[in-house]
Amino acid sequence: MKISLEGKSALVGGSSKGIGEAIARQLADSGACVTLMARNKPRMEVVIQELDTSLGQKHQYLVVDFSNFESFKETISSFIQANPIDILVNNTQGPVAGGALEKNVEDYQQAFDLLFKSVVYTTTLALEQMQRHQWGRIINVASISVKEPLNYLALSNSIRAAVVTWAKSLAFDVAKDGITVNNVLTGYFDTDRIAQLNAKKAEKLGVMPSEVRANMEDQVPAKRIGNPQEFGFLATFLASEKAAYINGTNIPIDGGLLKSL
């Protein structure tokens, strides 16, 4: 099966590294014009030079800070007014780790702004164009923790669950316009985020990070942590015409880690 996104424009959040970068690279490999969106300008300048341009694609980047909603709101509004968006990948950095008893109301508000308000605002703006064109793809990078919460990620568990239920409601409303909305539930992937979480957990337990990683790998039926490129393949399929009848879903990509149906 050949996937072609030639003529499509994609905006990919958190795409200076990790899963976001992998998605951006695969979308470009499939012919899309990609806009990277993250706060790490030097890293995006490197990535942008490496994206596929064999089909004449024009790639660009947008510097944003997802943790500063008012600043983000201004930047993204100006960008979407001036640029077409056919494919929107909502992906941000994760909030600070910690259990429910370690967090206060202000922590939840900050996480809400980071994970929910930025997603809803960006999607609302992009939808105006998608509805006019009667075509669009919205892909939310979520987590398996919305189905089976991880007790050390209370903020992420809570707010990402709000995102996926909001997306389900939205999917119903926009399907008639040729727009799909899907959530990808992320398992354990070889990213800086996982390394940081493992280091913090190792410090708390008094063990080496390598031991924490080995235990994580052992939990996964596939006995390994995912390669971000594998995530890019799934996101690119969902962004394509091949996935036109897949809408309002939560798709785990976790090597079989989730035990629930």
> Which residues are bridge partners to 143 per DSSP?
186
Q: Answer yes or no: 121 catalytic.
A: no
199 near 209, Cβ under 8 Å? Answer: yes
- What is the arrangement of strands in the sheet containing 60-63, beginning at the earlier edge strand? 60-63, 33-38, 9-13, 87-90, 136-143, 179-186, 250-253
Return the structure tokens found at 153. 């990620």
Nearest to 194 by CA among 209, 204, 182, 206: 209
Instruction: Strands of the chain (E only): list them.
Output: 9-13, 33-38, 60-63, 87-90, 136-143, 179-186, 250-253
Return the structure tokens found at 126. 């992009």
**Hey, is 92 helix, strand or coil?**
coil
82 near 58, Cβ under 8 Å? Answer: no
Q: Which of 121, 152, 188, 245 is catalytic?
A: 152
Q: Which residues are part of the catalytic machinery?
A: 152
